[in-house]
């Protein structure tokens, strides 16, 4: 049996704001350790017998980061499927199923969100081996997490009769997120499990059920895959077909209605890290129950999560708090109230602010830039261009730019002139001039950019030529 991991790397992770942003969501961040959650998920799969290279499904805006993060850990994906718009998990999994079934009619899919923590990997693979037996006969398996507490933030799955294989049970029903008293009853009953959102099934079996239960999703995603096309290292789903596809979760679309659903109990040290309190639960703590990261000073603090990203954070004489600092935002919340972080994000959206969209450091396929200062008619950025990186050939209608090289070598195109600049050298790009910045060297290029003009927005970029094929 060939098992193809399908890693779902969509979503914005708004409940982990201000660390997680729309442009840089939690699965692309080092939330738990030095590696990102996507990297942890991919490495968890590497080298396991019977597992093929992963197929990753992600949004168009995250494609270069996904590819770069996998490249950094030496993993070459089977493919990276790009969703033109988010349509929830049922269409994302359907697109992956169509893609795999066209290449291997017997393909088995192991569907995994990119942003989950699994501490007992051996137990996880034991659960997969249990599920593989009924899956070979057409079952659609979901992994139910053995609950460790009466959690009200998860949906539950109630198991029914044995499903003809060890540790496999028919799904009796799916249950929405319960209140505290109901959740306590579920835990006491012993046959309720947290709904993990992880699945194992044959691609053909999933598509057969989808065509019966949700034919519009099946048809739209099939068309999106068949009419998709390659773009650099990516596979783009056909935009019109996928955009017209109904949006639904795999649970609502298929798993709650199929007669072939089974649940495999999994005691694997799992968390979806769906909130700051959930992250506190799974992180290492000091003797007073504090989980910290970064430049942090604590005095008389207990049972708290404190995270500093860009400066020292001092916390004194409190307990049960979440304190998260980034370069442009600070969150302070009681651990029992962290679900309300999404209200902060909604407020930022309603005020047309940008702190929910991106950090001060913004990643691009050629490197990154970071805002240093901004004022009336000027803006200062720190720019890093990776070796071999090349910005688009572009022009601006409303701003001029001064570039000062801090380290490395820059090849600058301005109009018809091409020059090389090294450390402490600078150049000026007038308004309306066609220009490009490149790093021809073997070391990163660092420079300071000073913009001046009547409008300094990122949308004042007219791309004339781009090696990364961005519009």
The phi and psi torsions of 127 (rounded to 5 degrees) equal -65, -40
Note whether 69 and 213 are same-domain residues.
Answer: yes
Q: Tell which residue, 125, 338, 329, 103, has the closest CA to residue 225.
A: 103
Asked if the structure places residue 20 within a domain, the reply is: yes
Mean pLDDT of the chain: 96
Q: What is the pLDDT of residue 469?
A: 86
What is the rounded average pLDDT of the residues 139-143?
98
Name the β-bridge partners of 363.
368
Does 471 fall in a domain?
A: no
Question: Of the residues 271, 297, 321, which one is the last residue of a structural domain?
Answer: 271
Give residue 47's pLDDT band: very low, low, confident or very high (50, 70, 90).
Answer: confident
Provide the CATH number for the domain around residue 401: 2.60.120.10
**pTM for this one?**
0.92
Residue 239 and residue 297 in one domain:
no
Contacts of 148 (CB under 8 A, 6+ apart): none
Q: Are 90 and 217 in contact (CB under 8 A)?
A: yes
Q: Give the domain CATH number at 240.
A: 3.90.550.10
Give the residue numbers spanning the domain of 376: 361-465
**Does the residue 355 lie in any domain?**
no
Q: Is the pLDDT of residue 1 over 90?
A: no
- pLDDT tens across 295-307, in order? 999 999 999 999 9
Give the count of domains, the chain: 3
Q: For the chain, what is the radius of gyration of the CA atoms?
A: 24
pLDDT at 12 over 80: no
Looking at the DSSP bridge assignments, the partners of residue 192 are 158
- Predicted local distance difference test score (pLDDT) of residue 233: 86
238 within 8 A of 78, measured Cβ to Cβ: no
Q: What angle do CA 164, 169, 171 make, to 5 degrees?
A: 130
Please report the pLDDT score of residue 11 as a whole number. 80
* pLDDT band with cut points at 50, 70 and 90 for residue 289: very high
Residues 58 and 135 in one domain: yes
Q: Which of 345, 373, 395 marks a domain boundary? A: 345
What does the pLDDT read at residue 46?
Answer: 92
Q: How far apart are CA 110 and CA 97, in angstroms?
A: 11
Tens digits of per-residue pLDDT, 62-108? 999 999 999 999 999 999 999 999 999 999 999 999 999 999 999 99
Whether residue 94 lies inside any domain: the answer is yes
In this prediction, residues 351-371 reach a mean pLDDT of 94
Q: Do 303 and 243 share a domain, yes or no?
A: no
Name the percent of the chain lying above pLDDT 90.
94
Judge whether 49 lies within some domain: yes
Please tell me whether residues 179 and 195 are part of one structural domain.
Answer: yes
pLDDT at 329: 97
In this structure, are residues 141 and 262 in contact, taking their beta carbons and an 8 Å threshold? yes
Q: Residue 90 domain-assigned?
A: yes
pLDDT for 444 beyond 80: yes
Q: Encode burial over 292-323: b for 16+ CB neighbours within 10 A, e otherwise.
A: bbeebebeebbebbbbbbeeebebeebebbbb
Return the sign of the alpha-carbon dihedral for residues 41, 44, 46, 51: negative
Mean pLDDT of 50-68: 95
Say whether both 33 and 174 belong to one domain.
Answer: yes
Whether residues 126 and 201 share a domain: the answer is yes
Encode pLDDT of 250-285 as tens digits: 999 999 999 999 999 999 999 999 999 999 999 999
Same domain, 315 and 408: no
41 and 16 both lie in a single domain: yes
pLDDT at residue number 191 = 95
Neighbouring residues of 209: CB distance < 8 A, sequence distance ≥ 6: 140, 254, 258, 260
Assigned domain for 356 exists: no
Confidence of residue 153 (pLDDT cuts 50, 70, 90): confident
Query: pLDDT band at residue 164, thresholds of 50, 70 and 90?
Result: confident
Question: Cβ atoms within 10 A of the Cβ of 270, count?
Answer: 21
Task: Please check the confidence at residue 13 and state whether its pLDDT lies above 90.
Answer: no
Q: Which of 271, 305, 328 is the last residue of a domain?
A: 271
* pLDDT value of position 426: 97
Rounded-to-10 torsion of CA 143, 145, 151, 152: 10
Residues 64, 213 share a domain: yes
Residues 250 and 292 in one domain: no
The structure tokens listed for 145 are 């997490």
Do the domain assignments include residue 352? no
Judgement on whether residues 312 and 368 belong to the same structural domain of the protein: no
> Confidence band (pLDDT; 50, 70, 90) for 388?
very high
**pLDDT by residue (tens digit) across 207-250?**
999 999 999 999 999 999 999 999 888 999 999 999 999 999 99
């Amino acid at each position: 049996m060939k098992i193809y991991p399908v890693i779902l790397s969509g979503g914005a992770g708004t409940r982990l704001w201000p660390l997680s942003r729309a442009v840089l969501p939690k699965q692309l961040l080092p939330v738990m350790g030095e590696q990102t959650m996507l990297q942890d998920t991919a490495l968890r799969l590497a080298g396991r017998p019977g597992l093929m290279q992963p197929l990753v499904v992600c949004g168009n805006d995250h494609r270069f980061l996904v590819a770069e993060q996998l490249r950094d850990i030496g993993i070459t994906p089977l493919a990276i499927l790009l969703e033109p718009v988010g349509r929830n998990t049922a269409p994302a999994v359907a697109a992956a199923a169509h893609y795999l079934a066209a290449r291997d009619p017997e393909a088995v899919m192991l569907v995994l969100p990119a942003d989950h923590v699994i501490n007992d990997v051996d137990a996880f693979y034991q659960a997969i081996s249990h599920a593989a037996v009924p899956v070979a006969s057409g079952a659609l398996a979901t992994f139910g997490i053995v609950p460790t507490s009466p959690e009200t933030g998860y949906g539950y799955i109630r198991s029914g009769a044995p499903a003809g294989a060890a540790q496999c049970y028919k799904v009796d029903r799916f249950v929405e997120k319960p209140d505290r008293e109901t959740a306590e009853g579920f835990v006491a009953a012993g046959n309720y499990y947290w709904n993990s959102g992880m699945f194992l099934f044959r691609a053909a079996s999933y598509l057969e059920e989808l065509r019966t239960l949700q034919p519009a999703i099946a048809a739209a995603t099939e068309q999106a895959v068949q009419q998709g096309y390659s773009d650099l290292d990516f596979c783009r789903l056909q935009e019109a077909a996928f955009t017209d596809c109904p949006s639904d979760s795999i649970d609502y679309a298929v798993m709650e209605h199929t007669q072939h659903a089974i649940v495999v109990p999994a005691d694997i040290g799992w968390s979806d890290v769906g909130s700051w309190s959930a992250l506190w639960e799974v992180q290492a703590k000091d003797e007073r129950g504090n989980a910290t990261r970064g430049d942090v000073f604590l005095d008389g603090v207990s049972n708290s999560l404190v995270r500093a990203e860009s400066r020292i954070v001092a916390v004194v004489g409190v307990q049960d708090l979440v304190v998260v600092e980034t370069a442009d935002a600070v969150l302070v919340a009681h651990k029992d109230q962290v679900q309300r972080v999404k209200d902060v994000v909604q407020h930022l959206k309603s005020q047309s602010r940008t702190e929910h969209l991106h950090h001060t450091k913004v990643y691009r396929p050629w490197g990154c830039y970071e805002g240093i200062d901004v004022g009336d008619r000027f803006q200062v950025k720190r720019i890093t261009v990776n070796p071999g990186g090349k910005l688009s050939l572009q022009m601006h209608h409303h701003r001029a730019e001064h570039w000062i090289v801090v380290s490395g070598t820059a090849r600058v195109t301005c109009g018809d002139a091409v020059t090389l600049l090294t450390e402490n050298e600078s150049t000026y790009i007038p308004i309306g001039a066609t220009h490009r910045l490149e790093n021809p060297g073997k070391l990163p290029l660092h420079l300071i950019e000073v913009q001046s003009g009547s409008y300094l927005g990122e949308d004042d970029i007219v791309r004339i030529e781009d090696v990364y094929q961005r519009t």
